[in-house]
Structure 1
Amino acid sequence: MMTTLYGIKTCDTCRRARRWLDAAGVDYRWIDLRADGITRERLEAWRAALGDAALINKRSKTWRDFDAAARAAAERDPVPVLAEHPTLIKRPILETDPETVAGFSEARYQSLFDTAS
C-alpha cells in the first residue's frame, strides 16, 4: 500500500503523525505543502474525498488574518485559495489506498494500518 503524508514540517500535528508512522514502521512518502506545493488536481481530489469543512482549517492564523471577502471566496471555491495558501489546509492529510483522511488521530491511524497488537 502506497502511503503519502502531506503537511508542513513546522506543524506540531504533522510531527505527531510522522512520529506515529515511524514508530509503527509504516513506509510513507512525506510531502511538505509549503516547500513542495500542491496541485489543483490533488486539492480537487481531497475536496471530493473530504469535503470543504474537513479540508479548510478555520482555526489557522491564515484564516484569522483573512478579511470577510477572502473568507467568503475561500468558502465559495476553496481550491484556488488553498493552492495559494497551503497553510489553510487542515493537516496532515494522509493518503492510503483507498482512503484519504485529514488531521491526526492515533486511533484512526491504528485502524487504517491495523497496528493494534
Structure 2
Amino acid sequence: MLKLYGLANCDSCRRARRTLEGRGLAVEMIDLRRLAERGELDDALLTRLAAERDWQELLNRRSSAWRQLDQASRDGIDRDRALTLMREQPTLIRRPLLDSGNAILIGAEVAHYGD
C-alpha cells in the first residue's frame, strides 16, 4: 500500500490521492499535522525521508510557516535544524509526499506515479 503524507485540508494532497486511487492504487492518507499532534512524527521517520531525498527538497520554503520563522532561523538552517523544525511544524514539509516503499516522491512527482 502506498503512503501519502500531507495535510487533510491541502488541495494538492487531495488531488494526488484522487489521481492515485483513480489508477486503481491503494493509498493510505497520513495527515502530517495529526501525526505530529500524536507525537508520531518522529526523528526516525524524518531521518528516513531525508536519507531518501535531500532535506532541502523536503523543506517547504513557500509555506506560511517558513515565512513566519525569524530571519536568523532561516539563514542559518542546516539539515539537523530543518528536521527539528519539520517535526515541530509539519507544514514545513513539502507535500504531497508519497512513500511507495521503493522511492519517496515529492510534490508534482506524485501525480506521475504509476504512469
TM bin, normalised by shorter chain, reads: 0.7 to 0.9
Identity in percent: 39
Say if 2:5 and 2:29, in contact at 8 Å, map to a contact too: yes
1:90 to 86, 90, 94: 94
User: In the alignment, which residue of structure 2 is the partner of 1:108?
Assistant: 112
The secondary structure found in structure 1 opposite 2:108 is coil
Aligned partner of 1:16: which letter? R
Say if 1:20 and 1:106, in contact at 8 Å, map to a contact too: no
User: In the alignment, which residue of structure 1 is the partner of 2:64?
Assistant: 61
5+ residue gaps in structure 2? none
User: In the alignment, which residue of structure 2 is the partner of 1:70?
Assistant: 73
How many aligned residue pairs are there? 110
The 1:107/1:83 distance shift into structure 2, 3 A limit, reads closer
| TM-score, normalised relative to structure 1 | 0.84
RMSD of aligned residue pairs (Cα, Å) = 1.7
The secondary structure found in structure 2 opposite 1:71 is helix
5+ residue gaps in structure 1? none
Measure the CA separation in 2 of the matches of 1:47 and 1:107: 21
Q: CA deviation at 1:107?
A: 5.6
Q: CA deviation at 1:106?
A: 6.2
